[in-house]
Chains A and B, each alone.
Chain A
Amino acid sequence: MPLLELNQVCKRFGDAAVLHDVNLAVEEGEFVAIIGYSGSGKTTLVSILAGLLAPDSGTARFDGCPISGPGPERGLVFQNYSLLPWLTVEENVALAVDQLHPDWSAGERSACTDRYVSMVHLTAARDKRPAELSGGMRQRVSVARTLAMNPRVLLLDEPLSALDALTRATLQDEIARLRREQNQTVVLITNDPDEALLLADRVIPLTRGPGATLGPGIPIPLPHPRDRRTLPHDPAFQRLRREVIASLLSLGSRATPTLTRDLILPDLEPEDLGRPRSWSSRSGPLRRQERRTVTLSTPADAE
């Protein structure tokens, strides 16, 4: 039985269908990367997995039970860190530890907090507030806070997209390490094919919205740990990368953005000042009867 399962999930906001017929099954211990264009509904998808949003139709299940709300067993790392700015690094992490282990003594809880802070190499910055930290450090605090919830599945919502390339590489290695050490089940949402290929066991493309859905998954059978220096030269990696990108592009082209408008041709009259005009009798453009509904669409290969 999969640990995390979506079955024909649809979600719309007002008139806009964001997700349509999404099916997903994540096995225990698996690292799945969901990759898609920005604005295609990735955050909506992860919010449903986390339980922050309920699907309009279809079912979301965790460990066989329907997801009815958020919970510490599905640890969500937010795209924008979402640290509480009035708490220090340690207090932010302690919030999760205290919540999960209210029966522990204060010493046990602070030792546990320390362990998670050191796991993301932030022991030196433990008394700082988020405003004093760099973006990468903030995201590490966010990861530590989520890991401290001892989640059975880690949901990463574009955790590294706001970071510079060097910091991103460091944090990618850390995510890979944490995952190896804890054998953590991970769902990573990303827009970077290389990040997905470096970290994941399976890459699933999300089609372009509106009405985005998940395409067929591509297994990545490259052995862990993967070395970012040698990986790009690996023919298997290159083949998989081509496959992922081709799949993203073909899925993108299937849903081309269209625009439907009523068009009325402009009402031009010849420049003859001697011609008598009666403005009062005109209630609208003369060519209103000739109105046409036109659908404009971007050619697929223009993207």
Chain B
Amino acid sequence: MSSTSLPVTATPGSPASASHPFRAGFQRWFSRLDWFVLPLAGAVAVLALWYLSSATWAKDLPNPTRTWIASKPYIVEPFAKRGELDQGILRFTWLSLILVAKGYAIALVVGTPLGFLLGISPLFTRALDPIIQVLRPVSPLAWLPLGMILFGGWKGANVSELAALFTIALCAMWPTVLNTAVGVRAIPQDYMNVARVLKLSRWKTLTKVMIPATLPYMFTGFRLSLGIAWLVIVAAEMLTGRPGIGGFLWQQYNALIYEQIILCILTIGLVGFVLDRLMSVVERRFRSV
């Protein structure tokens, strides 16, 4: 009886405040929608910062409304082709993805066996580890000119594509190489003993024991590699001027049309996010085995 007559003086967050009918209702509503409300709040904050920046100190930055109006034709007709460097956004994305897929495939085909060799042979590791550690941090921007030089002499070859593939493969390879090597070294000795007691042939030991035991590590490497391959694509397309999402971005910048740059950035981010999610689903499948 005495407690009902008391005013509610509890500090926020304490159990007493949660029992207040309005507050409790709000909290229930909020906890049901916070998965949506919180990201929305974050996005709104960034948009506001963008508006503010374009209105005050960054006069060249188109504000979100102008960006949307200028980007609309590329979004509503995502597969249109009006010219070599004037295509729908998904068409550009598709071109970039194809290039990434090729370069990524080369990275995996070269990187996985290399990683296995590094994992199996300490001699090989000692010979190659220093050079790998030195080459690994080199930026894609640095590899691309080398690719141009390497393939420049090939008659009838698409030099810019080959150089781009070279760059993507070289940059994306390292996570696969290193993770595979770690995975091979982490194969439990027990599994190898089973192979030895059963007298499995080298090939059977590889396919029945070593590769399955290394798969989770390999897929972690594959996932990181894909992320890097997608990062590299933009740089590669910028420098070679190939049609694609990165090439488009660079072209619009050079043409002083800044509106579509943000569109490209968002698209690149979204595609990268989707690729990473897809790979992590595949990865989880293999990890559970």
Which A residues form the contact surface with B (CB < 8 A)?
50, 52, 69-72, 74-76, 78, 80, 82, 84-86, 95-96, 99, 129, 149
Complex CA gap A59/B215 in Å reads 40
B289 A86 Cβ-Cβ under 8 A:
yes
Q: Is the pair B196, A70 in contact by a Cβ cutoff of 8 Å? A: yes
Tell me the count of chain B residues lying within 8 A, CB to CB, of chain A: 16
Query: A95 near B208 (CB under 8 angstroms)?
Result: yes
Residues of A with C-beta under 8 A to B215: 86
Whether a CB of chain A sits under 8 angstroms from the CB of B30 is no
Interface string of B143-172 (1 = CB under 8 A from A): 000000000000000000000000000000
Contact in complex: B198, A96 (CB < 8 Å): yes
Question: Is residue B199 within 8 Å, beta carbon to beta carbon, of the partner chain?
Answer: yes
Tell me if A52 and B289 are in contact (CB < 8 A).
no
- B198 touching A52 by the CB < 8 A rule? no
Main secondary structure of the interface of A (DSSP, over half): loop
The answer to whether A99 and B200 touch across the interface, beta carbons within 8 angstroms, is yes
Bitwise interface map of B from 182 to 203 toward A, beta carbon under 8 Å scored 1, else 0: 0000000011011011111000
Residue B212 CB within 8 A of the other chain = yes
- For residue A99, which residues in chain B have a CB less than 8 angstroms away from its CB? 198-200, 204
New A-B contacts (7) at CB < 8 Å, excluding given A71-B197, A84-B194, A86-B212: A70-B196, A70-B197, A78-B190, A84-B209, A85-B289, A129-B289, A149-B198
Cα(A80)–Cα(B191), bound, Å: 11
Interface contact B193-A78, CB-CB below 8 Å: yes
Report chain A residues within 8 Å CB of B199. 70-72, 99
* Contact, CB under 8 Å: B190 / A80: yes
CA distance A74 to B208 in the complex (A): 21
Chain B residues within 8 Å of A50, by CB: 197
Q: Which residues of A contact B190 (CB under 8 A)?
A: 78, 80, 82
Once bound together, how far apart are the Cα atoms of A85 and B194, in whole Å? 12
CA distance A190 to B212 in the complex (A): 32
Closest Cβ of chain A to B149, distance in Å, is 45
Distance from B198 Cβ to chain A, minimum over Cβ atoms (Å): 5
Quick check: B212 and A76 within 8 Å, CB to CB? no
In the assembled complex, the CB of B219 is this many whole angstroms from the nearest CB of chain A, namely 13
Q: Provide the bound-state CA to CA distance between A74 and B199, in Å.
A: 11
Q: Shortest Cβ distance from A300 into chain B, in angstroms?
A: 36
Q: Bound complex: CA of A71 vs CA of B204, how far in Å? A: 16
| B191 and A72 form a contact (CB under 8 A) | no
Provide the bound-state CA to CA distance between A206 and B128, in Å: 46
Nearest-neighbor residue (CB-CB) of A50 within chain B? B197
- Name A100's closest neighbour in chain B (CB-CB): B198
Complex CA gap A75/B197 in Å reads 7
Q: Is the pair A82, B191 in contact by a Cβ cutoff of 8 Å?
A: yes
Please give the distance in Å from A81's CB to the nearest CB on chain B. 8
A129 to B288 Cα, complex, angstroms: 11
B203-220 Cβ-contact flags toward A at 8 Å (1 or 0): 010001100110100000
Q: B212 contacts A52, CB within 8 Å?
A: no
Task: Please indicate which of the listed interface residues B196, B197, B212 has the most CB atoms of chain A within 10 Å of its own CB.
Answer: B197
Which residues in B have their C-beta under 8 angstroms from that of A80?
190
Contact (Cβ within 8 A) B193 A84: no
Contact between chains at A52 and B194 (CB < 8 Å): no
Question: A85–B209 Cα gap in the complex (Å)?
Answer: 10
Min CB–CB distance B255 → chain A (angstroms): 54
Which B residues lie within 8 Å of A85 (CB)? 289
Please indicate the chain A residues that have their CB under 8 angstroms from the CB of B197 in the complex.
50, 52, 70-72, 74-76, 149
B209 partner residues in chain A, CB cutoff 8 A? 84
Q: Which residues of chain B have C-beta atoms less than 8 A from A129's C-beta?
A: 289
Can you name 20 A-B pairs with beta carbons within 8 Å?
A52-B196, A52-B197, A69-B196, A70-B199, A71-B197, A75-B197, A78-B193, A82-B193, A84-B194, A84-B209, A84-B212, A86-B212, A86-B215, A86-B289, A95-B200, A95-B208, A96-B198, A99-B200, A99-B204, A149-B197
**CA separation between A149 and B200, bound complex, in Å?**
12
How far, in Å, is B190 (CB) from chain A's closest CB?
A: 4
- Chain B residues within an 8 Å CB radius of A84: 191, 194, 208-209, 212-213
Cα separation A215 to B254 with both chains bound (whole Å) = 87
Please tell me if the beta carbons of A72 and B289 are within 8 angstroms of each other in the complex.
no
The residue of chain B having its C-beta at the shortest distance from the C-beta of A78 within the complex is: B190
What is the bound-complex CA distance between A82 and B188, given in angstroms? 9
> B209's closest neighbor in chain A, by CB?
A84
Q: How far is A80 from B289 in the complex, measured between Cα atoms in Å?
A: 19
Residues of chain A with a CB closer than 8 A to B198's CB: 72, 95-96, 99, 149
A103 CB → nearest B CB, Å: 15
Tell me which residues from 222 to 250 in chain B have a Cβ below 8 Å from any Cβ of chain A.
Answer: none
How far apart sit A171 and B198, CA to CA, in the bound complex (Å)? 23
Residues of B within 8 A of A52 (CB): 193, 196-197
Q: Which residues of B contact A76 (CB under 8 A)?
A: 193, 197
